[in-house]
Structure 1
Amino acid sequence: MSAPAEPVLLVDQGSDGLPGLDLVEGLAAAAEEQGYAGFQVPETNCDPFIAAALAARATNDIQIATGIAVAFARTPMTVAMSANDVQQLSRGRFTLGLGSQIQAHIEKRFSMPWSRPAARMREFIRATRAIWSAWETGERLQFRGEFYTHTLMTPFFTPPKNPWGAPPIALAGVGPLMTEVAGEVADAFLAHGFTTRKYLEEVTIPALQRGRATAGRPAGSVLDLGISMPAFVVIGDDQAALDAAAAGVRKRIAFYGSTPAYLPVLEVHGWGGVQEKLYAASKRGQWDEMAGLITDEMVEAFAVIGDAPTVARELVSRYRGVLSRLSFYAPYEVDPQTWVTLLAELHRVTRP
């Protein structure tokens, strides 16, 4: 009997944060058993590489990814070493998901340098790949760039050759400059949850294609761009549950919308003026009041809404042919069984 066909839209388990490193192995094993295609670990309240290593040791088939690890909090050498370790532990099931974070966090939380983030990220990824190549080939490490220089790698500090090779790199971004870098030097793109179908089509995909053209990479189809995204869902079996879910999503949209870096997403829809109001309210600490600025139209643009069968159909209708993978983004309390039901519905409607 042949193996079942792979769904045309892969579903990963992702989250804003993990409940504790001691629970990661159980969560990853459960995600694999439930049928998720991937298990993503964020960098919020724990080290993503430790979490990814634990997830790798607890599973056999599911893909493991950092979603994301903050590149500029580290150096290419530290990232190359950590990613190489997880790739080996996972037996080739790891994807290195990188992101830049924002200037305030890099400078004030991590005490690391910030400048020209798109150019710095391009060089960061090239430096990481140069380090992996030196380990693989044994050739002398000779990377000299504007931001990073790596020219010392002695045998004592060189890891054993990784039988699984280097992991693929997925780069997160919102604005067109970072997105172009992803098309140029990364293997996949991680879209932000604060993204709509319209923004993907009008900004993200053209930017990725420009990046590929710059690097002389084949244009390919939209799915060849390897876009994944945490998709907002408003899910519930009755109106009270839907209202509570919508309130949670509305607050999160308002939080993201108050950030100037995310203004382009709102501008695509003609909502640029809302960002100014959200930003001003955030400076006053009026977090609850900000949600009132998010209209029903805005919620419907960012989120799919309904019970599990409806959400499954709408996710496929909205994102099939644009995304390669997605995860469920729900900033509110949900019965865990809801996700099991939704995943089963998605598998039912996406298998070819």
Structure 2
Amino acid sequence: MLAQEADRLGYSVVWAAEAYGSDSPSILAWIAGQTSRIDVGSAVMQIPARTPAATAMTAATIDACSGGRFRLGLGVSGPQVSEGWHGVRFAKPLARTREFVEIVKLAIGRQTVEFHGEHYELPLPGGPGKALRLSFHPPREHIPIYLAAVGPKNLELAGEIADGWLAIFYSPEYASESLATIAKGRGKAGLTLDGFDVVPSVPVVIGDDVEMCAELVRHYAALYIGGMGSREKNFYNELAVRMGYGEAAAKIQELYLAKRREEAAAAVPMDFIDQTSLLGPKERVAARLRDFASAGVTTLCVSLFAPDPESGAQTLRDVADALTLSGVGDLGE
């Protein structure tokens, strides 16, 4: 229902995520069959969950079935999911991502896939395998590739090898540092930020009371800052520290890992939530949309905090109205 409403309203893309529950390609293939115009994007397909060839096959298939509407978002996930769920060591994630993306591009481009890297070897040496190429012609030889990136090195890699960046906790007030890092990667590839898609996932709650709207986002923020990863390695906690919330980030993590979840949520600073969300009446949301656009966002993904589908659909309509008031950009969900 929500994807169909977004399609009707003119949103540009609907995204689906995966962790260790439902997988994103199945959801996106189903959505593609229920819609006619809106793009469908993985945010993300996990790199440790699939071989590069399987990922390319899936991407090309959904792109073909949807009439060229697929966007391929990739991410390495984190140590706990990669090693605990997929049984894949998390070591050297940047090098693995670079090789993975290169093979995916070869396969989608219908080139004969022969690759000799540190992490992937195709075909395997000394056996009956041979270099192959995709056996059907997808509608496009290039499918847009996005990387989910948080840390500086991964941001630079996204700029170098991808068409877009899937961001989380994107703050217009902090964005210049992240965009400069991406621009550095673009420069390595002889490119600029022109045409590079900056896609933050932004919680949205429409209402008259900004503080009350923020309350719906607190547990989400606490989960990522406090519980997504271990005490030693939590990329989102490190991001909050870089954004200037070091003391709060340490407290949130301590409380969350001690299973004091309500206290952890209460410890998330209101300013952090407000910077990284769209909260309040439509007029206030419109003003923040202008801030996000001025801070380099090219496709803004609204993350709905609604109790039921009809409320979610109303939020989509409210954001569409706010975008009209703002006078900037295209719709993106």
TM-score bracket relative to the smaller structure? 0.7 to 0.9
Aligned length: 314
Structure 2 counterpart of 1:11: none
Question: Are 1:294 and 2:265 an aligned pair?
Answer: no
1:118 is matched with 94
Task: Give the letter for the 1:176 counterpart.
Answer: P
Could you tell me which residue of structure 2 aligns to residue 69 of structure 1? 45
Counterpart of 2:166? 190
Q: CA deviation at 1:285?
A: 0.5
2:185 equivalent in structure 1: 211
Residue 303 of structure 1: how far off its partner (Å) = 2.4
8 A Cα contact 2:201 2:302, kept in partner: yes
Match of 2:197 in 1: 226
1:30 matched to 2:37? The reply is no
Q: How far apart, CA to CA, are the structure 1 residues paired with 2:108 and 2:25? A: 17
Shift of 1:188: 0.8
Give the unaligned 5+ runs of structure 2: 124-128, 229-233
The aligned runs of 1:217-256 (5 Å cut-off) are: 217-221=190-194, 224-237=195-208, 239=209, 242-256=210-224
CA separation of 1:28/1:329 partners in 2, compared to 1, >3 Å: closer, same or farther? closer
Q: Which one is further off, 45-54 or 69-78?
A: 45-54
Distance 2:79 2:297 in 1: 28
User: How far is the alpha carbon of 1:176 from its aligned partner?
Assistant: 0.7
Amino acid in the other structure paired with 1:146: E
Residue among 299, 307, 322 paired with 2:296 = 322
Deviation at 1:164, TM superposition (A): 2.5
- The one-letter amino acid of 1:197's match is P
- 2:174 is paired with a residue of what secondary structure? helix
Give, in angstroms, the shift of residue 189 of structure 1: 0.8
* C-alpha displacement of 1:330: 4.0
Q: Which residue of 1 aligns with 2:126?
A: none
CA contact (8 A) 2:155 2:181 kept: yes
Partner of 1:150: 122
CA contact (8 A) 1:248 1:331 kept: yes
Paired amino acid for 1:219: T
Could you tell me which residue of structure 2 aligns to residue 21 of structure 1?
Answer: none
* % same residue: 26
Which runs of structure 2 are paired with 1:1-352 in the superposition (5 Å)? 26-44=1-19, 45-133=21-109, 136-137=110-111, 140-151=112-123, 152=129, 158-192=134-168, 194-202=169-177, 204-215=178-189, 217-221=190-194, 224-237=195-208, 239=209, 242-258=210-226, 259=228, 260-331=234-305, 333=307, 335-336=311-312, 337-350=314-327
1:227 is displaced (CA, Å) by: 0.4
Contact residue 199 and residue 268 of structure 1 kept, 8 A: no
3-state secondary structure, aligned to 2:301: strand
* In structure 2, C-alpha distance between the alignment counterparts of 1:89 and 1:153, rounded to whole Å: 28
2: CA distance between counterparts of 1:263 and 1:50? 30
> In 1, distance between residues paired with 2:214 and 2:96?
38
Give the TM-score, by structure 2 length: 0.86
Q: Which amino acid aligns with 2:191?
A: P
5+ residue gaps in structure 1? 1-25
- Give the structure-1-normalised TM-score: 0.82
The aligned amino acid for 1:166 is H
Q: Does the C-alpha gap of structure 1 residues 321 and 42 become closer, same or farther in structure 2, counting only changes over 3 Å?
A: same
